[in-house]
Amino acid sequence: MAGERRLEYFLLEYVPDIVRGQGLNIAVVLLDPTDMDTGFCRLRCVSNWESKVLAMDPDADIAVLSSLIREIEERLSSQRSRAEMLQVLESSFSNAVCISPRYKYQSENPIRDLEQLASRF
């Protein structure tokens, strides 16, 4: 279609026990890989992620996870820190929060599609 953009998305996953490898999707990031400086890049949390995390791990610190997600979201929305944040996420982030591989995504309306992706996971 004429207005479609070639984007990519990846998931932020809460993994309380990296050895067991069981995780839970808590957010999705949709971005334009052709323009990492000024292109589209947004994060959206999946609905009710807090209660899903607590159901999986009753000892999870939701306040810390919320703060971490807010920091990631702020740094991804900043043109100054976006590339650095993506590099940190992809190379050496956290044991408790991991990222999925990137997936290709065609979109005419990235904001709408980000909401749909977040509701899917």
Note the pLDDT of residue 4.
87
- Tokens found for residue 121: 């996971």
% residues pLDDT > 70 (the chain): 95
For the chain, 121 residues long, the average pLDDT of each consecutive 10-residue run is: 84 85 91 88 96 95 94 92 89 77 95 95 88
Please give the model's pTM, rounded to 2 decimal places. 0.88
Q: Provide long-range contacts, Cβ within 8 A and 24+ apart, for 97-101.
A: 97/12, 97/13, 97/14, 97/15, 97/26, 97/65, 97/68, 98/12, 98/13, 98/15, 98/18, 98/23, 99/10, 99/11, 99/12, 99/13, 100/10, 100/11, 100/13, 101/10
Note the pLDDT of residue 105.
96
Element (H, E) at 14: strand 5-17
pLDDT tens-digit readout, 84-95: 998 888 886 666
Question: For 103, phi and psi rounded to 5 degrees?
Answer: -120, 140
Note the pLDDT of residue 73.
95
